Chains A and B, each alone.
Chain A
């Protein structure tokens, strides 16, 4: 019996699933304050809270199969209660935060009531109506800013911002604070997903009749899911209130709840990394564009396109694609690829910064994007062709194959050994270079030729690496593959 005959079963215990999440959040919480500028610390604090909101959407959609388009409105509820309690009673911030989460959880139950007897699409529409109704109500009563009475709204007077908790007064400290709460919330979600509750939810998603037959109390589990989702969203809302000291009606339009759902799907609703991507997409990408004066509406166009593509592709999102990648690619290739990426990108970034052409971070960013696009562009092109139908896809593939063959034969006749994918790779490299360089020039003000040179150098170096290093590390790769086998991977 081979010693390494492990079956391909994902880690089972809840702790095994939660630990990577906690470690990742801890690492970011530690490194963040050292790396980020004042602008980005504030942005990433917001991202942290949005990761939690996205996590609740993912819980409801990914695990339970229910679309809730009202989650961001529920964080508005939580934020409102937090603000009112801090202004009105001067209680410690954490107490108000928990109270806000609790009330938002009750509202979440309210949102979930229709779910008890409704089909998915009707539920989506009803939650949308609720989010829109919340938008109207919050516009009338406003968010508390130091006044008296139930609404706590100051009329024609000095508006008051709330103080941050005493342990997290500075921007950097508050970032860590948000990360801690976010990790706790996401950890709770992951824990439940991996435990009995998660299995009950998954069974309900599969078939309610089966769940009832298996003895699962459908009503109780659905209610619990919506209450939990509401509570955690409310918690996130309270955290955002603490970040800015105030909340604004404009931030809680129904469109925000819709975007939260859409980008959760794009990021991936079936894994916690997806929520992280979603948080980054919702807050960090617009902040990046705004910082460079690019119109935020173009971000919306991109998000809409990404949503369409994700749904057509099978709705696993970015995280799902990454998870598939991990599952279907050999460990040795992953290790080798990562090492090569790191060496090439850091090396080029250092060289570029030393030569004064760009900053270290800028060059690093461009090279990494180029290497990423090198892998992603062929897939995207394939998908775009798919819009026109399978016949078109096949025809294009045939043409490309024929040309590639001709090119390979030509290279062989010179005496070199060609890669049979050489045409694809050359076209890809050309396109990625020209396109990403153009984006870098337009958005980040990097001179076009500098960006182009960086990108092509990165691609060339990586190819050279692969070609030069391959025979030398063959045995090392075999050892890695033996240690971490991947039953579904292709061994080319």
Chain B
């Protein structure tokens, strides 16, 4: 147990960030039907902007705010100006368009900042909770866990109890009927994209700190986030969080087994494929009311 605990703790904290990213992806997908491939790229950009501001010797909170604001703004901009031209196309095309957006952001970030090794330092890095004389978990990771929990609860509350959430659920259920019923589709969509950008920015900062501060690497961290979302069937926030945590923990525990160590990073994909195969054992299609896949 003693050997397992640090691995479990690290795994949970990374898994929390996967869960956070997954939640952002799922919220956007539910409201607008778009799988956002640009999620990781936005997070990467947020992390790089944050690093740049801190490197220029401005206050750290300014850096965080600027990074998150960048991601939020770009995401909202895409949702407001570009996504509407694609609404009449099918889901794949809309998802692939976000891929184009991701390539643009990643290319620009990689071109501007290059491959120089960097480190995104968050204040919680240097302290932590001790256990038995050893550092168990740094403050950064505790914050990540707390944020993941808080934002999931926040989103659940938003969707269940607020008018905006109600409209989002209406859009998911049936866009055309919702528009007829008076839901302002573009506005609700914009809110969904804005929230997704917010989530992307925050998870990007944590990923940049915990994994690696490099635009390309951070862009492709959208894949494990999607794996978490797939566990949640692109619909259920609770299962998405579970998926993210599961992926994080299994990835971490794989490091204990010599034969599995190098395959650790494939955990997300294996989990996703298994989850989908399990879910589609009865065949997959749109639900009767077209609200979700089942």
Contact = CB atoms under 8 A, between A and B. Distances in A.
Q: Do chains A and B touch in the complex (CB under 8 A)?
A: yes
Interface of A: 67, 114, 117-122, 124-126, 128-130, 132-133, 136-137, 139-140, 253-255, 258-259, 261-262, 265, 295, 297-308, 311-312, 315, 386-388
A473 B272 CA distance: 65
B111 interface: yes
B179 to A, nearest CB: 18
Interface residues of B, number: 48
Contacts of A387: 81-82, 85
Interface of B: 35, 81-82, 85-86, 89-93, 95-97, 99-108, 110-111, 216, 220, 223, 226-227, 230, 262-263, 265-266, 268-270, 272-273, 276-277, 280, 283-286, 293
B86 A67 contact: no
B88 to A, nearest CB: 11
Contacts of B284: 117-119, 122
B99 A258 contact: yes
Given A118-B280, A258-B99, A386 B286 contact: no
B262 A301 contact: no
Given A119-B286, A125-B35, A312-B86, A255 B220 contact: yes
A308 B100 contact: yes
Contacts of B103: 259, 262, 300-301, 303-304, 307
A298 B111 contact: yes
- Report, nearest first, the 5 A-B pairs whose CB atoms are least far apart: A304-B103, A300-B107, A307-B100, A301-B107, A304-B104
B276 A122 contact: yes
Contacts of B89: 311, 315
B289 to A, nearest CB: 16
B33 to A, nearest CB: 9
6 contacts: A121-B92, A126-B273, A300-B106, A300-B107, A304-B106, A312-B86
Nearest to B105: A304
Contact of B111 (A126, A262, A295): A295
A125 B229 CA distance: 11
B140 to A, nearest CB: 26
Contacts of A258: 99
Interface SS of chain B: helix
Nearest to B103: A304
Nearest to A262: B99
Contacts of A312: 82, 85-86, 97
Given A118-B280, A262-B96, 13 more contacts: A117-B283, A119-B286, A124-B95, A129-B227, A129-B230, A129-B272, A130-B273, A255-B220, A295-B111, A300-B107, A303-B103, A312-B86, A312-B97
Given A121-B95, A301-B107, A254 B223 contact: yes
A259 B293 CA distance: 27
Contact of A114 (B91, B105, B227, B277): B277
A299 B91 CA distance: 26
Contacts of B276: 114, 118, 122, 125-126
B139 to A, nearest CB: 31
Given A119-B285, A311-B93, A137 B263 contact: yes
Nearest to B91: A121
B230 A125 contact: yes
Q: Which of A128, A139, A305, A387 has the most CB of B within 10 A?
A: A128
Nearest to B96: A311
Contacts of A315: 89, 93
A140 B110 contact: no
A129 B226 CA distance: 9
B90 A265 contact: no
Most buried by B among A132, A253, A297: A297
Contact of A305 (B104, B263, B266, B272): B104
A126 B226 CA distance: 10
A278 to B, nearest CB: 14
A388 B81 contact: yes
A295 B108 CA distance: 10
B100 to A, nearest CB: 3
B293 A122 contact: yes
A185 B71 CA distance: 44
Contact of B107 (A118, A132, A298): A298
Contacts of B107: 297-304
A69 to B, nearest CB: 9
Contact of A117 (B105, B108, B110, B280): B280
A177 B282 CA distance: 47
B192 to A, nearest CB: 17
Contacts of B100: 262, 303-308, 311
B96 A254 contact: no
Interface centre among B106, B266, B283 (most CB of A within 10 A): B266
B262 A124 contact: no
Contacts of A303: 100, 103, 107
A305 B103 CA distance: 8
Contact of A297 (B111, B223, B283): B111
B270 A308 contact: no
Contacts of A302: 107
Contact of A308 (B82, B220, B283, B285): B82
A117 B86 CA distance: 26
A265 B96 contact: yes
A253 B107 CA distance: 16
A206 B56 CA distance: 56
A366 B230 CA distance: 48
A295 B276 CA distance: 39
Contacts of A300: 103-104, 106-107, 110
A136 B266 contact: yes
Contact of A132 (B35, B91, B223, B293): B223
A136 B224 CA distance: 13
B82 A132 contact: no
Contacts of B91: 120-121
Contacts of A301: 103-104, 107-108, 111
Nearest to A294: B111
A293 B225 CA distance: 35
A304 B101 contact: yes
A133 B265 CA distance: 8
Given A140-B262, A300-B106, A388-B81, A307 B280 contact: no
B261 to A, nearest CB: 9
B248 to A, nearest CB: 16
Nearest to A386: B85
B148 to A, nearest CB: 22
B48 to A, nearest CB: 13
A114 B111 CA distance: 37
Nearest to B92: A120
